[in-house]
Amino acid sequence: MLKWYPKNGRIIFHLDMNSFYASVEAAYNPELKGKPLAIAGNPEERRGIIVTSSYEARAKGVRTTMPLWQAKKLCPELIVLPPNFDRYRQASSEIFKIMAEITPIVQPISIDEGYLDITECYDLGPPWEIAERLQQRIKNELDLPCSIGIAPNKFLAKMASDMKKPMGITILRKRDLPEKLWPLDIEEMYGVGQKTAEKLHKLDVYKIGDLVEADQFQLKRILGVNGERLQQRAKGIDTSPVDPDAIYDFKSIGNSETLREDTTDDTTIAKLLRRLSQKVAIRLARKEVVAETLQIMIRYYNRKTITRSITKDEYLAQEDEIFAVASELFDTNWNGEPIRLLGVTAQNLVEKEQAIEQLNLFNYQEHLQDEAIQNVIDELSTKYGKNPFKKIKDQVNNDTPTTSFQKDFLDDFKQ
């Protein structure tokens, strides 16, 4: 079997569940199979937004982020369900257990996708046979479809898993790039959002192959270090490891400032919190990350120091958002005594391209125009199914989680 495994390279899988939320609902209730189905926020209200839809619904023109009234007009028979977070979490847990039985080198990315490094799994057979068994086991035991990309690195594996859905297995080697990857529109490249694509268009970069040939200086001028990184990936270069401990690596970005003199002046304090929030937001943008948690530090005139933090339902990245949360924390925890130093720190950081907004569908519509939402909510679909989840009792109600749903999932996985 060693002949199928490289001597110096790696073999990486990217497993991506197809239409995860809708697929789970169809597996739980077989009567939904083959019918136009959508998951939406506020399904009882016409102003609800479609989060995901089945192939049958998509055939009628139903699309992600479409207003519910419009979807109903296109597909009057559309079945609309609210999200069931506990059901999705349970299904995800079972999926990752199956993945971990193949190799311990598993890196969860979100509730419905993850990487596996099978470089040392040559005793299990050729890579494509391992992928087929993994895919079929998830389908047979959980009745959930998935696609798997096989490649020498994480980026190419991710791109490969998107090439055939549902139930696809795609091998993407570096020698395949001119034929399979480079002809794709630049918007289809993982890590390229709408705004980045618009900037690349100004350099006449419309295909991934154009990015390979683009001038590196110009890329760095308009995109910074991200331009060089994107070009390297387009060339098939990505050395990042499959890191099972990545879910433990919650970094932070913070700034603090000592006042010229101790103060209790509200205006002075507010100006300082605003300035610190701005600095944190700039650094988050520079590193292309968002935060789940915000912490403030208050040091009083007598050097007594306290820190207080809060984890929000939504990712924090913008100056105004950070300032609002920092001000809330300060107002709640300041004892009124003179202050010598203030600090604002963003914690539990997630890369923008990997961050998936929690589907808090009560405020989803407020963020509809946010590029982060547009980039990370996949157009999902559902098909087939039996009922493997009947044995799972819904012991917890479907209220929106008090912390990020994705963070909750990662915490569950670590336990």
> For the segment 192-235, what is each residue's pLDDT rounded down to a tens digit?
988 899 999 999 999 999 999 999 999 999 988 889 999 999 99
* pLDDT of amino acid 369: 44
Encode burial over 49-60: b for 16+ CB neighbours within 10 A, e otherwise.
bbbbbbbbbbeb
* pLDDT of amino acid 349: 84
Instruction: Let me know: does 173 contact 149? Beta carbons within 8 Å.
Output: no
* pLDDT of amino acid 363: 41
Q: Residue 179 burial (CB < 10 Å; 0-12/13-18/19+)?
A: exposed
Is residue 78 over pLDDT 90? yes
Collapsing DSSP to helix, strand or coil, 301 comes out as coil
- Measured distance CA(3)–CA(303) in Å, rounded: 65
- Measured distance CA(88)–CA(321) in Å, rounded: 29
Annotated binding-site positions: 16, 112
Task: Tell me the per-residue pLDDT of 243-302, one tens digit each, with 9 for 90 and over.
Answer: 887 765 556 888 888 888 999 999 999 999 999 999 999 988 887 788 888 999 999 988
342 closest CA partner among 414, 287, 279, 412: 279
| Length of the chain (residues) | 415
The answer to whether the bond into 241 is cis (omega within 30° of 0) is no
For 122-170, where are the alpha helices, taking DSSP H only?
127-142, 154-161
Q: Which residue type occupies 108?
A: P
**Tokens linked to 78:** 């559309």
Name the band, by pLDDT with cuts 50, 70 and 90, for residue 164.
very high
Q: Which residue type occupies 333?
A: N
- Measured distance CA(372)–CA(68) in Å, rounded: 21
Annotated binding-site positions for Mg(2+): 16, 112
- Measured distance CA(357)–CA(393) in Å, rounded: 26
Instruction: Let me know: does 355 contact 404? Beta carbons within 8 Å.
Output: no
- Bridge partners for 222 per DSSP: none
DSSP 19-48: THHHHHHHHH-GGGTTS-EEEESSTTSTT-
- Measured distance CA(331)–CA(403) in Å, rounded: 21
Collapsing DSSP to helix, strand or coil, 310 comes out as strand
**Tokens linked to 20:** 């995860």
CA dihedral 226, 227, 228, 233 (to 10 degrees): 80
| Mean pLDDT, rounded, for 323-341 | 94
* pTM beyond cutoff 0.75: no
Name the band, by pLDDT with cuts 50, 70 and 90, for residue 186.
very high
Task: Tell me the per-residue pLDDT of 342-399, one tens digit each, with 9 for 90 and over.
Answer: 999 998 887 776 654 443 333 444 444 444 444 443 333 333 334 444 333 333 333 3
CA distances from 67 to 10, 46, 60, 194, 375 (A): 44, 8, 14, 21, 18
Q: Which residue type occupies 300?
A: Y
- Measured distance CA(146)–CA(164) in Å, rounded: 10
Q: Considering the chain, what is the average pLDDT of its residues?
A: 83
Name the band, by pLDDT with cuts 50, 70 and 90, for residue 44.
low
Q: Alpha carbon 101 to chain centroid distance?
A: 24
- Measured distance CA(5)–CA(131) in Å, rounded: 14
**Three-class DSSP labels, 383-396:** CCCCCCCCCCCCCC
Q: Alpha carbon 86 to chain centroid distance?
A: 18
**Residues with a known catalytic role:** 113
Domains of the chain are 1-179+361-399 (3.30.70.270), 182-234 (1.10.150.20), 250-351 (3.30.1490.100)
107 closest CA partner among 14, 9, 191: 14
* pLDDT of amino acid 398: 36
